[in-house]
Chains A and B, each alone.
Chain A
Amino acid sequence: MDRREDGPVSGPIVRIEGLTKRFGAVTAVDDVDLEVAPGELFALLGGSGCGKTTLLRLLAGFETPDAGRLLIDGQDMTGVPPHLRPVNMMFQSYALFPHMNVAENVGYGLRREGVAKAEATTRVADALEQVRLTEYAQRRPAQLSGGQRQRVALARALVKRPKILLLDEPLAALDRKLREGTRFELVRLQAELGLTFVMVTHDQQEAMSMATRLAVMNAGRIVQVGSPREVYERPATRFVADFIGVANILKTEDGWLALRPEKIALSVERSGLANVVAGKIVDLAYEGDRSLYRIATDGAVLIVSTAPNLAHRRGDSVWLGWAADAGHPLDA
């Protein structure tokens, strides 16, 4: 079974009903309903100020909602302070304690819980091994690289065996190369542990590649929830179509249509596809694994992506074509 395809199977681990949070005149989270199933890697995706981080902080208990309810594993979390919630967070800045070494950082939560010393030592050692930091146990955070710090933060949260791991922009502070590797590592870890991850990210690629399901947020509301494939193939609104990947948004007589760049065929001769339009190459970029074009047509400039191709030149006249079912109609 493709793990990216299955929806909720048992009772939700997170259940959010009409949750609202205001900061002065700004409604950061606006009447949000959401359910997350156990074992999901759920992503909250949106631009800055969309309310995704506030929603995560409401889950952790750092913010108290103005309205609505939040249940974790069936338990109402209203009025439950952060230190009593069965969730742990990996902070964007990692928030490692600078005056403690790696082992002390990881063991901090166990000491607060009153876990017996011998057991705590074993669990810390296991957690450090899980993130391959055993040799760094005695180092201070300041003596670690960015990637190592990220793994300490991860181990510190995981060692508590939370019901849900909250991740605030888990990859944002890493450089691009490290980000790719860490992405796979997090997904692998999540699958191995079978733990529910709720992750906040502004990076649609990150959300698409990691999440089993994701919620696209805008202006404090959830615009669409679904698997990455559903959201990509069948975006509900122009906002989602535009935010997730690159989309050409076309006006048709019935409304709006989202057309992904890779669904458009580019040819010198007119093709026999259902929709054809003539155009001229305005810009082109050879990217190694693909070629990207901006093509001026009668109505609009369309973005087209093809297999790597060096045959075309700027200014060439070309034909674009796409199948009848290539586009996806949008609500608004």
Chain B
Amino acid sequence: MRFVIALPFLWLGVFFLLPFALVLAIALGTNAPDSVPPVELGIGLKNFALLFTDDLYLAAWLTSLRVATTSTLVALLLGYPMAYAIARAAPERRPLLLMLVVLPFWTSFLIRVYAWMGLLDENGLLNQFLRWSGIATDPGTILGTEWAVHLGIVYAYLPFMVLPLYATLEKMDMSLLEAAADLGARPFAAFLTITLPLSLPGVVAGCLLVFIPAVGEFVIPDLLGGTETLMIGKVLWDEFFTNADWPLASAVAICLLALLVGPIALFQRQQARSLERH
């Protein structure tokens, strides 16, 4: 019994805490391109100082936050009606509709992002269609812009928005809406005063599940975004692999984690609270 409880902690200790300590140690060291590994250990904050003084990093942080925030909002605006429609569909049709939401997971994430490249490329399917149909003779290219990054993030993380929203909407007591109607609420007023406030836990959960990975997202901005969309995940990658500056990359990783601790803690607390309620 004790072993069963200890196992996940042991796992976390070995595969999370220990690597985290290593990353922190590297972040406090200095870059030493000629040694293997290319780090000289020590205690210094100059890597962190650089992150907060160099405009490039600051811009990357802000872009990441902005892209993640707008993507989350768009996912919420798309996901809420989807979740609502599924939750209110006939019970025998819900499994099929949920399946359709989850279906993209059956294909590798990377392949799906590559598929978007094929769609959004200058000579991609979208532009071919636009030229063929005569809607636009000289359409611009979406690939390589921030639009493409938003599109990719919303597409990839929409299920994470829909599922928690569906869970809260589905378990809502429908007699509450009847009571609201009985007391004189039009359907839309009943939605605003009853459904929406009662689904807030799902809204918070969905937003965090989209926002947290979106901030640190690397693959989507790398493949779909252009050079002008510099997000922090991509900076981390570049520092590590292109510039081989391990300490700076580690400092970026630490900061990313620190930035997300707030939302993650919020998410955990909210989950714990909803567990208490049931």
A78-110 contact mask (Cβ, 8 Å, vs B): 1 or 0: 000111100111010101111100000000110
Do B178 and A109 touch across chains, with their CB atoms under 8 A apart? no
Known: A83-B182, A91-B175, A160-B183. 4 other contacts (CB 8 A): A87-B182, A95-B178, A108-B180, A108-B183
CB distance from A225 to the nearest CB of B (A): 26
Of B29-37, B64-72, B89-97, B192-200, the one touching chain A:
B192-200
How many of A's residues come within 8 Å of B, CB to CB? 24
Question: In the assembly, what is the distance between CA of A89 and CA of B175, in Å?
Answer: 11
Count how many pairs of residues, one from A and one from B, have CB atoms less than 8 Å apart in the complex. Answer: 59
Do B185 and A93 touch across chains, with their CB atoms under 8 A apart? no
Majority DSSP secondary structure for residues of A touching B: mixed
CB distance from B200 to the nearest CB of A (A): 8
Majority DSSP secondary structure for residues of B touching A: helix
How many of B's residues come within 8 Å of A, CB to CB? 17
CB distance from A84 to the nearest CB of B (A): 8
Do B180 and A91 touch across chains, with their CB atoms under 8 A apart? no
Residues of B within 8 A of A96 (CB): 179
A156 at the interface (CB under 8 A from B): yes
Partner of B198, one of A82, A87, A99, A112: A99
B176 at the interface (CB under 8 A from A): yes
B140 at the interface (CB under 8 A from A): no
User: A88 with B175: in contact, given A99-B197, A108-B193 (CB under 8 Å)?
Assistant: no
Question: In the assembly, what is the distance between CA of A49 and CA of B183, in Å?
Answer: 26
Question: In the assembly, what is the distance between CA of A236 and CA of B175, in Å?
Answer: 36
Residues of B within 8 A of A84 (CB): 184
Counting from the closest, the 9 A-B pairs by CB-CB distance are A109-B183, A95-B179, A112-B184, A82-B181, A95-B175, A112-B185, A83-B181, A89-B182, A83-B184
5 CB contacts below 8 A, A to B, read: A62-B182, A83-B181, A88-B183, A156-B183, A160-B183
Which of B176, B180, B181: most chain A Cβ within 10 A? Answer: B181
CB distance from B10 to the nearest CB of A (A): 39
Question: In the assembly, what is the distance between CA of A81 and CA of B198, in Å?
Answer: 24
